[in-house]
């Protein structure tokens, strides 16, 4: 009988393979996480997003720029004089 770790590892491999097969726009895992986060909350400040995702502002900024160029997100100024997505 397989251990739970083996089963979870196999499931993760299957999910990664399936995601790569049905990912015609080649969205990265980080970009997917950002879009998922924004689907839960319509907008957030980049500082909030980087904290929630546990990544640097630089890494987030690069991912947001690509998503903006791909037309998935738009950028609007907030009332706090910061940019939000």
Rounded to 5°, the CA angle 16-19-12 comes to 25
In this prediction, residues 47-75 reach a mean pLDDT of 92
Q: Which pTM was predicted?
A: 0.65
What whole-number distance in Å separates Cα of residue 80 and Cα of residue 10? Answer: 46
* pLDDT of 30 over the 50 cut: yes
Q: What is the pLDDT of residues 9-22, one digit of tens each?
A: 877 877 776 666 66
Q: How many other CB atoms sit within 10 Å of the CB of residue 55?
A: 16
* Element housing 84 (H / E): strand 83-84
Of the pLDDT bands very low, low, confident and very high (cuts 50, 70, 90), residue 82 is very low
* pLDDT of 73 over the 50 cut: yes
């Amino acid at each position: 009988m397989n251990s739970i770790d083996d089963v979870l590892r196999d499931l993760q491999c299957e999910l990664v393979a399936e995601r790569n097969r049905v990912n015609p726009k080649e969205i990265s895992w980080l970009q997917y996480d950002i879009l998922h986060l924004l689907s839960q909350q319509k907008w957030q400040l980049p500082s909030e997003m980087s904290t929630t995702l546990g990544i640097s502002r630089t890494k987030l900024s690069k991912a947001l720029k690509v998503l903006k160029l791909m037309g998935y997100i738009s950028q609007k100024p907030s009332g706090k004089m910061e940019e939000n997505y």
